[in-house]
Amino acid sequence: MRNAGLGGWPARRALMTPDRTAFVLGERSVTFAGVHERTTRLASRLRRAGVAAGDRVAYLGPNHVAFAETLFAAHVLGAVFVPLNFRLATPEIAYMLADSGATVLVHAPECAAAVRGLQDAPATVVALADPGPGEHAYEDWLAQGDPGEAIDVPVTLDDPALILYTSGTTGRPKGAVLTHGNLVWNCYNMLVGVDLRSDEVTLVSAPLFHVAALNQTLLPTFLKGGRSVIMPSWDVDRCYDLIAGHRVTWMFGVTTMFAALARSPRWAGADLSSVRTLMAGGAPVPPALIRTYQERGLVFCQGYGLTETAPGATFLEPSQSARKAGSAGVPVFFANVRVVRPDLADTAPGEPGEVLVQGPNVTPGYWNNPAATRAAFAEGGWFRSGDIATRDADGHLHIVDRAKDMFISGGENVYPAEVESVLAEHPGVAEAAVVGVPDGTWGEVGHAFVIPRPGASVTGDGLRGFLLDRLAKYKIPRYFDVVDDLPRTGSGKIRKPELRTRAGR
């Protein structure tokens, strides 16, 4: 087999453990042999549709077995998989499809309206259900593929595997490229840090279009021959049911998910005896929440990473999860992490600095964006996270601030510049500034300060309605203040810290 990337995984797993269950979705289960057959059929159809090495295949929809099948089928052909955030609005999806140059789009019925609103859809569109005019029905299309077709495309670990769009700090998302090697080395780091077993039953409850759900749970579990129980969307009661029904051993989630589980009336009496490890990421976890889980005898681990680091950069080992509760852990086994001053000299223990990451898990750069790629790296191939942390005397990282203005709402990264740029398109808005403010449900939400154009009358409800068709709902600010001016520095830049203080009054 000349495919050294993820495209070879279904065939290799089918040889090793053909009858073991790979995926569970509702009442449906698929063995590793079944994944191999269906992936081969889908790759055959994609090849007949013109997909070749280096082409881009996009997927839009909630968590589903078809997500993994499309990913592996694209990789069988040496193509690049582009998972899209199904919460985005049509203009945002259109931009990412155009920027990536995707020639195929597979989508779920929940996203049909957004897809049919595209002015320039990819040449081939495949619907999981209820295909529209010119679209293919996924199961019928896949069934027409040849399960015995000999496909052996040479793929190296340096070849691109994924394009993952991250919200842009300058108003446009950037496509972070992850190679097959980035993904493989990240899996190695997970196997070292979590000590995954072949009998793992992993609950995939976070969105797979995010790097953490895909690369920290589904792919390592598949590599080990474990079982992934897929949740299409997050639901607290359904989560409890799946843990008990499938004897789940491992789960990843963001802070809001774990907080919701602990607030549930089912928390005290729930059978969680099968769970070996819980892992959190996406935002710092309050120590009080960690203690809540530890008091139930559960191992609660945190990690730190970014889309560009595939994502694991640091990890808190289970053996340290109690002693170092609240820490993001130490560098993963196959990566290097530094905390540096502005002159790139290493900080002293306890001194805040920027987190830099270097290793085989780090992106080679951004899709079709050499300027952003150059800006993201310091000398020596160190990726600049823009995040601020301290390192204690034992080498454990403590994240003290995220990238300058970004905030996280319900586990989703929100970059104010993107929201501000869309607000500026409103005919009544002269200028806008957005900051993140604390929220009991979502962790943080947006608070917008808007200066109207002379003679214009704008309201929060009107601005919210304007944004609804242009941005994903989680990016739309919860609060709007119409103001006469914004606080500025001597150079004219807006003082965001002052706005945060004002918003918290």
Q: How far apart are CA 228 and CA 303, in angstroms?
A: 21
| pLDDT at position 491 | 47
| pLDDT at position 170 | 52
The pLDDT confidence band at residue 71, using thresholds 50, 70 and 90, is: very high
| pLDDT at position 283 | 66
| pLDDT at position 401 | 61
DSSP 206: S
Q: 236 exposed, middle or buried (CB, 10 Å; 0-12, 13-18, 19+)?
A: middle
Three-state DSSP class for residue 160? strand
| pLDDT at position 424 | 85
Q: Exposed e or buried b for every residue in 129-155, given b needs 16+ CB within 10 A?
A: eebeeebbebeebbeebeeeeebebeb
User: pLDDT tens, 428-468?
Assistant: 998 899 999 999 889 999 999 999 988 999 999 999 999 99
Three-state DSSP class for residue 450? strand
Residue 169 scores a pLDDT above 50: no
Mean pLDDT, rounded, of the chain: 93
**Residue 301 carries which side chain, given as an amino acid letter?**
C
The pLDDT confidence band at residue 474, using thresholds 50, 70 and 90, is: very high
Phi, psi of 477 (to 5 degrees): -60, 145
Pairing of strands 277-280, 300-305: parallel
Nearest Cα residue to 279 out of 227, 234, 237, 314: 314
Pairing of strands 277-280, 80-84: unpaired
Nearest Cα residue to 32 out of 306, 226, 176, 277: 226
Query: What would the mean pLDDT of 346-354 be, rounded to a whole number?
Result: 94
Pairing of strands 21-25, 28-31: antiparallel
Query: What would the mean pLDDT of 185-198 be, rounded to a whole number?
Result: 94
- Across 21-35, 169-183, 454-468, the highest mean pLDDT is recorded for 21-35
CA distances from 475 to 163, 206, 444 (A): 21, 18, 11
Residue 402 scores a pLDDT above 70: no
**In CATH, 1-155 is 3.40.190.10:** no
CA distances from 468 to 84, 185, 471, 475, 497 (A): 18, 39, 6, 9, 27
Lowest mean pLDDT segment, chosen from 175-179, 207-211, 280-284? 280-284
Lowest mean pLDDT segment, chosen from 149-163, 399-413, 449-463? 399-413
Which residues, in sequence order, are CB contacts of 184 under 8 Å at separation 6+? Answer: 5, 6, 157
Three-state DSSP class for residue 56? strand
| Between residues 112 and 419, the one the model is more confident about | 112
Q: How far apart are CA 72 and CA 36, in angstroms?
A: 9
Omega cis (within 30) before 311: yes
Q: Exposed e or buried b for every residue in 200-214, given b needs 16+ CB within 10 A?
A: bbbbbbbbbbbbbbb
| pLDDT at position 61 | 98
Query: What would the mean pLDDT of 89-97 be, rounded to a whole number?
Result: 95
Tokens 């929940």 -> residue: 110
- 246, β-bridge pairs: none
- 82, β-bridge pairs: 58
Residue 77 scores a pLDDT above 50: yes
Pairing of strands 104-107, 124-127: parallel
Share of the chain above pLDDT 90, in %: 76
CATH number of 407-503, picked from 1.20.120.160, 3.40.50.720, 3.60.20.10, 3.30.300.30: 3.30.300.30
Q: What is the 3-state secondary structure (H, E, C) of 283-318?
A: CCCCHHHHHHHHCCCCCEEEEEECHHHCCEEEECCH
Q: How far apart are CA 280 and CA 275, in angstroms?
A: 14
Three-state DSSP class for residue 226? coil
- 291, β-bridge pairs: none
DSSP 319: G
Q: Contacts from 490-494 at CB under 8 Å and sequence distance 24+?
A: 494/433
Q: How far apart are CA 353 and CA 335, in angstroms?
A: 18
Query: What would the mean pLDDT of 297-325 be, rounded to a whole number?
Result: 90
Query: What would the mean pLDDT of 407-425 be, rounded to a whole number?
Result: 85
The pLDDT confidence band at residue 119, using thresholds 50, 70 and 90, is: very high
Tokens of 157: 């670990």
The pLDDT confidence band at residue 495, using thresholds 50, 70 and 90, is: confident
First to last CA, the chain: 63
User: pLDDT tens, 123-142?
Assistant: 999 999 999 999 999 999 99
Q: How far apart are CA 231 and CA 222, in angstroms?
A: 16
Share of the chain above pLDDT 70, in %: 97
User: pLDDT tens, 245-293?
Assistant: 999 999 999 877 888 898 899 999 999 999 999 998 876 677 778 888 9
Which residues, in sequence order, are CB contacts of 70 under 8 Å at separation 6+? Answer: 42, 57, 59, 81, 106
| Between residues 353 and 106, the one the model is more confident about | 106
| pLDDT at position 285 | 73
CA distances from 200 to 21, 207, 228, 252 (A): 11, 20, 8, 13
Query: What would the mean pLDDT of 156-166 be, rounded to a whole number?
Result: 97
Q: How far apart are CA 367 and CA 382, in angstroms?
A: 18
| pLDDT at position 318 | 81
pTM score:
0.87
Contact present, 170 and 417 (Cβ < 8 Å): yes
Nearest Cα residue to 185 out of 381, 362, 373: 362
Give start-end residues of each CATH 3.40.50.980 domain in the chain.
1-155
Give start-end residues of each CATH 3.30.300.30 domain in the chain.
407-503
Which residues, in sequence order, are CB contacts of 263 under 8 Å at separation 6+? Answer: none
Task: For residue 178, give the H/E element and its range.
Answer: strand 174-179
CA distances from 457 to 431, 461, 470, 480 (A): 14, 12, 21, 13
Nearest Cα residue to 309 out of 283, 336, 342, 347: 336
Nearest Cα residue to 1 out of 148, 155, 183, 223: 155
| pLDDT at position 256 | 76
Query: What would the mean pLDDT of 410-416 be, rounded to a whole number?
Result: 84
